[in-house]
Chain A
Amino acid sequence: MCQWAMIYLYRLCQNLHQEILTTFMSETVLKKLEVLSAAAKYDVSCVSSGSSRKEQKGGLGNASPSGVCHSFTGDGRCVSLLKILYTNNCIYDCSYCVNRCSNDIPRASFAESEVEELTMHFYLRNYIEGLFLSSAIFRSPDYTMERLVQVVKNLRVIHRFNGYIHLKALPGADHQLITEAGKYVDRLSANIELPTRESLHTLAPQKDGAVILGTMKSMSTEITRYKDEKKRFKSTPSFIPAGQSTQLIVGASPESDSTILTLSEALYRKLSLRRVFYSAYVPVTTDPRLPLMSSPPLQREHRLYQADWLLRFYGFTAGELFSCGRQNLEEGCDPKVSWALSHLECFPLEINSAPYEMLLRVPGIGVRSARKIVSARRHHLLQGEDLKKMGLTLKRACYFITAAGKELHQDAMNDVIMRKNLIRSGVNDDGGSRGKKKREISRRAGGYEQLTLFPLESEESTAAEYICTAHGEL
C-alpha cells in the first residue's frame, strides 16, 4: 500500500515538475516574443501575396496569390505574417534604428526551435499566413544569415511547412547563402532604408549603399536565371516566387519626393522589384543627426504610396509627376489630381471612346473602374447616369470626362475653380516660393510639423548624382 502511495506521489511530483518546466519555457518565449516582435514592427512590409504555393501531401499549408490579412492592428496595418527578429543584438549603430547597439533596450535572441514552433502553432490556428523573419546583425552578416537560412530550411524540410515565408537578405552576406535561402522562401528583401549614399553615410556609417544594391542585384540576376531555366525545364524547383521588395525611410533624411520616387522607378524597372515600401520615420531615438519631429510624416508617406501606385499600375513615370521643376508631391492633393491639373490640355475625355491608358489617368477612375467602362461600352453608349450606377465616384472625375458628349458638371473649366473643388483644404500650390510656404502650413495642418530640417539643404544635387551612379550600377 505504502509502495503504491510512494509511486503515486512520485508520479505527481514528476507531472508537477513537467508543468512548471513548460510554464517556465513559455514565459521565456513570451518575453522574447514581446521584445523581438516590437523590434520588427517598424518594417512595414506585411504582404503575403504574389505567391501561389500549392499544398503538398502530408505538409501543412499553402500560399494564396491574393494574400490574406488575418488581423489589423490599432493603427490599421494588416497583420498577415508572424513578423519577428531572430535577434535584436546588433553590431551596427544606425541612428534611426531602435535596435542600434548604443540604445539601452532589452535584448533577446530566439532559438531556432522556438521560431519554428511559434510559426507552426500560429499557422495551425489560422492566426497567420506565414513567417516574416528578419534579424539584427549578430557577430557578422554571414553568421546571422546562416541562422536564418537554417530556420527556414527546418520549417520546409522537417516540419513540412508550406505557408508563406518572407526572409530578410542581409546585405553583405555570402551570395551562396542568399541563393540557398531563395530555394525555401517566397520573398526575399533587403532594405535600402535611406535613398542616398550621403544619408546612409551620415546616419548609418557602418552600412554601405553599394553592398546593399549589390545584394539586390545578385538576387535579381538569380531570379532572371531561374525564369529562363523554368522555361526549359518545368520541374525546376521554385526560387523566390514572390520576388524581392525593399523599404525606404521617409523623413529621417533630407531627400525630396522626387529623389525617392526616381529611385523606386529605377528599382521597379531595372531590378524588377515587386514592391518598394515607404515608412514614415517614427522618432524612436534622439540623435543630433536626426530631425526633431512631434509625430511621423504620415501624410507624406500616404502621398508617396499613391505616387508609387501610379508608377506601377497607371503607366506614369516619375518624371511626369514632377513637372514644372517641383521637387515634392503636393501634400494637399493626390498626385494624380496634381498631374491632371497641370495637363488640362488632355481633358475632357469622352469615356465612350477614350483609350484605356487615358482613362487610367483620370482622377477618380481606378484600374477597376477603367476596366468596367471599357467592357461595358462595347454594348451600350454610356451616359452619366450609367457611370453612377456602376459605382464610380464622380466627385473628382466629373471635371475631366464627358459621357456621350455631355459634360457632367456645371462649373467652368478653370484651373482655379477646379482646384478649389478638387482639393479639400483649398491649398493652391503653384510650385514657387509662395507655394512652398503654403506647403509648410498645410503640413502643419496635416497633423505634424518638422521642427528642424536637416542642416544640409543643398544636398539635393549630390543626391541626384547618387541616383545617376545608382543607374550606372544597376
Chain B
Amino acid sequence: MSAIYIYDGSFSGLLTTVSSLLLSGDAPEAITTSPPIQGDLFISLISTATDDEVAVRLAGDIRKKASEEVFRNCIYAFLAEENGCEKQILAYIKKALVIGPEIVSYHHDDDVIALHGAVKRIRLECHRLKGFLRFEQLKGGLLYAPVEPVHNVIRLLAPHFAKRLSTQKWAIHDRIRHSAVLFERGRWALFDVLSTELPEPDSREMEIQRLWRAFYSSIDIRERANPKLQRRLMPERYWKYLPELSVNEERGKEKGRENPYNDRL
C-alpha cells in the first residue's frame, strides 16, 4: 500500500525519511511537510521523527560513494523548494549510491535531468541576485537588503557577500520566507524574522540613490532600445527593490508615501 511520508521540513528530516525508505525499499506516494487536507482511505500517513545521527550517516554515505558534488546537488535541489522535490531527491540519492560519482554525467536519465534542472534554476537565481540585490545604508551603518526570491537562496548568497563586504555589518532579508542572514564581525547566521523595526535610512542614502538613478538613465542608448531583451535578462519580479527602475519610485508616490521604507516594515 502506498503511503505519504511526513517530515519536519528540515534537510536532516528529509535525509532521515530517505534513509528509512532506502532500507525498506518502499516507493512513497509523496514526501511532504504537511498532511493533505483531504484524507484518502487507501493512503496511509507515516511521519518520521528527525534523527540527526541517521541523517549524518546518510550524508557521509553519499559523499563517500558518490561525491561531494552529488551531495551539494541534493542540498541545492532541497533549497530550490520546488513541488515534489523530495521524491526527486530520493530517486537521485538511490541512483547515486549505486552508480557513484559518474551520476552527474547521466544527462539522459529522467531522475537526473529533473534534479539537475532544479539545481540549475536555483543557481541561476542565486547568480542573478548576486547582482540584483541592493543594500541601503541605515542610520547606525547597517546595510539592509530586502529580497523576494523564488527559491530559498539567502544562505547561498551569504558566503559571497561575507567575502565581499567583510568589514561591514549587513543583513539580507527574505521577505517571503521571513528569514534573514545577519553578518557582523566576520560571521554570518540565519535568523527567523518575527518583526522588523528598522532605523531610518542614513542621511546620505537618498542622495546616493539619486546619483545611481541619474547614472542608470544617462547610460541608456535610445537608438538601441530593446525592452524585451532587458526583461529577459532581468525579469520584472526583481525590479521591486531596484532603486534605478523609477517605476518603484512612482509607485511609492502614487500611494502618497514619502518614506519608501513604510511598506517594507
Contact = CB atoms under 8 A, between A and B. Distances in A.
Interface of A: 22, 26, 29-30, 33-34, 37-38, 40-42, 55, 57-62, 64, 66, 68-80, 82-83, 118, 121-122, 124-127, 129, 280, 282-283, 295-296, 298, 372-373, 375-376, 378-380, 382, 386, 389-390
B233 A124 contact: no
Given A75-B221, A389-B113, A33 B215 contact: yes
Contacts, number: 159
A111 to B, nearest CB: 15
Contacts of B106: 376, 379-380
Nearest to A40: B219
Nearest to B161: A126
Interface stretch (B5-13, B72-80, B127-135, B189-197): B127-135
Nearest to B226: A76
B224 interface: yes
Contact of A372 (B107, B127, B227): B107
The majority secondary structure among interface residues of chain A is loop
Contacts of B168: 60, 124
Contact of B233 (A64, A69, A380): A69
23 contacts: A29-B211, A30-B211, A33-B211, A34-B215, A38-B219, A69-B131, A72-B233, A72-B234, A73-B219, A73-B221, A74-B222, A75-B221, A75-B222, A76-B227, A126-B135, A129-B131, A280-B224, A282-B223, A282-B224, A372-B107, A376-B108, A379-B106, A382-B108
Contacts of A372: 107
Contacts of B133: 126
A122 B208 contact: yes
A460 to B, nearest CB: 28
Name the 10 nearest CB pairs between A and B, nearest first.
A76-B229, A375-B105, A75-B224, A386-B108, A376-B107, A70-B131, A76-B226, A72-B234, A38-B218, A41-B219
B125 to A, nearest CB: 13
Contacts of B215: 33-34, 37, 82
A242 to B, nearest CB: 17
B11 to A, nearest CB: 26
Contact of A26 (B110, B127, B207, B212): B207
Interface string B227-260: 1111011100000001010000000000000000
B1 interface: no
B108 A74 contact: no
Interface in B38-55: none
Interface in B96-112: 102, 105-108, 110
Nearest to A118: B211
B196 to A, nearest CB: 19
A282 B244 CA distance: 25
B90 interface: no
A423 to B, nearest CB: 22
Contacts of A22: 207
Nearest to B128: A69
B102 to A, nearest CB: 7
A282 B221 contact: yes
A168 B164 CA distance: 25
A33 B167 contact: no
A77 B132 CA distance: 14
A69 B124 CA distance: 12
A33 B225 CA distance: 22
Interface of B: 102, 105-108, 110, 113, 127, 130-137, 143, 145, 160-161, 163-168, 204, 207-208, 210-212, 214-216, 218-230, 232-234, 242, 244
A71 B131 contact: yes
Contacts of B232: 76
A55 B145 CA distance: 21
B220 to A, nearest CB: 5
Most chain B beta-carbon neighbours within 10 Å: one of A68, A118, A129: A68
A127 B102 contact: no
A58 B168 CA distance: 10
B211 A124 contact: no
B143 A378 contact: no
A78 B216 contact: no
Contacts of B105: 375-376, 378-379
A64 B113 CA distance: 28
Nearest to A55: B163
A296 B224 contact: yes
Contacts of A33: 211, 214-215, 218
A301 B232 CA distance: 20
Nearest to A380: B108
B229 A125 contact: no
B233 A76 contact: yes
A298 B167 contact: no
A127 B207 contact: no
Nearest to B162: A55
Contacts of B220: 41, 73-75
Nearest to B99: A379
A389 B110 contact: yes
Contact of A68 (B130, B204, B219): B130
B164 A74 contact: no
Contacts of A379: 102, 105-106
A463 B103 CA distance: 53
Contacts of A59: 166-167
A30 B210 contact: yes
A71 B235 CA distance: 11
B245 to A, nearest CB: 8
Contacts of A40: 219
A80 B227 CA distance: 18
Contacts of B163: 55, 62
Nearest to B166: A55
B225 A74 contact: yes
B219 A83 contact: yes
B219 A55 contact: no
A59 B64 CA distance: 38
A37 B108 CA distance: 48
